[in-house]
Amino acid sequence: MSGPGRGRWGLGDGVGEEYVMDHHQPGERQRLALMSRLLDPMHRRRIEDLGAASAGARTLEVGFGNGSMSAWLAGQVAPGGQALAVDLDLALAGA
């Protein structure tokens, strides 16, 4: 992605060239798993309270980390919905 005049992530603006939560740091897989165990229940409750992820809905998760919430969202919007998730680094998807 990087090249002449472009940042590490191909942004090219010189701002934010280093990914703050680099997925290649030692212990990153464990950190994301812990965050999922601690925070996913709270996030799920909030999304349910908002009614934002029901069958047929379309969702977007930016910075999905290990994908735990993305997988849950996909199950919530089925059938007929879409759960789109994006991240700069896919190294830990499904961790």
Predicted confidence at residue 5, as pLDDT, reads 45
Q: Which helix (H) or strand (E) holds 37?
A: helix 28-50
State the average pLDDT over residues 3-13. 49
Q: What is the pLDDT of residue 24?
A: 72
- What does each C-alpha distance from 4 to 7, 12, 13, 45, 53 come to in angstroms? 8, 9, 12, 45, 41
Beta partners for residue 60, in sequence order: 84
pLDDT tens per residue across span 18-67? 666 666 778 888 988 999 999 999 999 999 999 989 999 999 999 888 89
Task: Report the distance separating Cα 15 and Cα 47, nearest Å.
Answer: 32
Report the C-alpha gap between 52 and 46 in whole angstroms: 9
pTM over 0.85: no
